[in-house]
Amino acid sequence: MQSGISVSQELHDAFSTFASDDSAFCLPVTITSESLTPLAPIRFSSPGAFYPSLSQLSSVLEPKTPIYLLIRRPESASSSLIALTYIPSNAVVRAKTLFASTRATLVRELGSENFGETIFATEVEEVVSEEAWRERDAEKNGSATPAGYRREDLMGEKERELEAVRRAEEDARSGTPKRDIGIGGTFSRGPSRMRIEMQVNEDAKTALQRLQQGGLVQVAIDIPTETLKLAAAESGVDPESVQTHISSSSPRYTFYHYPESDAVIFIYTCPSGSSIKERMLYASSRMYGLQLAEEQGLKVSKKIEAGSPDEITGERLHEEVNPPQNDGLRRGFAKPRRPGR
């Protein structure tokens, strides 16, 4: 999944200067006007002092605002540049999605050969703490932390579950699960990708096969049996009322055939109050949900991810199907509003 955001010429120029300036510690990058743009660079607190300079990153970190940090680490054995993506856990869903789906574009367009490592962080301490960086080094090298523990050994049960959710979501987006995440289902290797397969109730298949213009089919996962089942099948649903048909308490896969068009929209919603197992199961099974629809003859042309049904407005659905001619980059996930607006 990609967002359509691209690197601005301003960032290309700033990155060229940053890459050749050994006194520059970090180049922060954000998304403005549908493109990746640079902020003011941060200098080392003293020449080449990586750990003492980490605290300076706090100046650009906000509790609900994602940001990219291009960091120079002089003692690194390979390339000294690191691309760090900071997406706070309490950021709004659209911002999370936009920054997560653009991180690969940032590295690719600036030159993946320039970066020795990419890092994903959700907490400020994961960015500014010397201990967190040393733990990552130890984990990367397959050894214990300086205190004799692996990072996972230091996690509580809740933290382990949240980490599993993050991995499941990343794997589901790429379609290539890297490990068994321990939530059931069967990993199946197809012609082009791996996916999680589940049992599917026949009524869900039938409803998808019969989906017509203005129709809505909602599919849910029965958690105890880990089976895809039909949650709702409606006809004559107006775009403005789609959100009223989607559960606000549990995740759902919703397929909506936009009226007077050939567009079938796949809507994945995951409310913040969902249980950890629900979030893991839905995130890791999303690709299979799409595959299931295709097997029933549906051609899904648009995809939306949201935390709450309230985000699925008639206007948003209309723009997915009929993107403004002067704003084509809004296809996919919309740009988050600036903080404070």
CA distances from 232 to 208, 222, 262, 281, 283 (A): 11, 14, 21, 20, 20
Which residues fall within 8 angstroms of residue 142, CB to CB, at 6 or more apart? none
Two structure tokens written together for 13:
């120029």
Mean pLDDT of 275-294: 85
**What pLDDT is recorded for position 154?**
47
pTM of whole model > 0.75?
no
pLDDT tens digit sequence for 137-156: 877 665 544 444 444 544 54
pLDDT tens digit sequence for 96-115: 888 888 888 899 999 988 99
**What pLDDT is recorded for position 328?**
42
**CA neighbor of 239 nearest in space, from 306, 332, 318, 302:** 318
- DSSP letter at 106? H
**What pLDDT is recorded for position 155?**
52
Two structure tokens written together for 180:
């068994």
Q: Which domains does the chain have, with CATH numbers?
A: 6-154 (3.40.20.10), 186-330 (3.40.20.10)
pLDDT tens digit sequence for 173-196: 444 443 333 333 333 334 333 345
Task: Please tell me which residue, 321 or 336, carries the higher pLDDT value.
Answer: 321
**What pLDDT is recorded for position 331?**
43
Mean pLDDT of the chain, nearest integer = 81
pLDDT tens digit sequence for 221-276: 998 888 999 999 999 999 999 999 999 889 999 999 999 999 999 999 988 778 87
DSSP letters spanning 215-274: -EEEEEEETTTTEEEEEEEESS--GGGGGGGS-SSS-EEEEEE-TTSS-EEEEEE--TTS
Task: Please tell me which residue, 14 or 177, carries the higher pLDDT value.
Answer: 14
